[in-house]
Amino acid sequence: SGLASCQISPDGDVWSCCVRAKSLGNLRYTNYKFRKVWYSKKAKKDRRSIHHKECWCPLANASYTNMLMNIPTLMRVSYRSFIKWWS
């Protein structure tokens, strides 16, 4: 969360996580410039909080995305899939 995915609420709030539902900013107030919200100081602070495990995510979809964004995990899964495919 906060790196590879986000949620946008109907009123334009950008959230790093739908469970956390903490607004990083509102697209309406930035003339719909997503980058301005996504790379804001508030977003960087939120990513640090997530990185320091100040929240816990029960959503499988977010976990899968996070795993694919982690190179060692991606390599391990790819290797296991390759071995399974050739066996």
Nearest to 2 by CA among 17, 19, 22, 18: 17
Are the C-beta atoms of 65 and 4 separated by less than 8 Å? yes
Tens digit of pLDDT for each residue in 39-55?
Answer: 999 999 988 887 787 77
pLDDT at residue 11 is higher than 70: yes
Are the C-beta atoms of 2 and 17 separated by less than 8 Å? yes
How far is Cα 34 from Cα 76, in angstroms, rounded to an integer? 33
Half-sphere exposure (Cβ direction) of 62: Cα atoms closer than 13 Å:
17
pLDDT of residue 24: 94
Residue 12 phi/psi, 5° resolution? Answer: 100, 0
- Enter the pTM of the model: 0.65
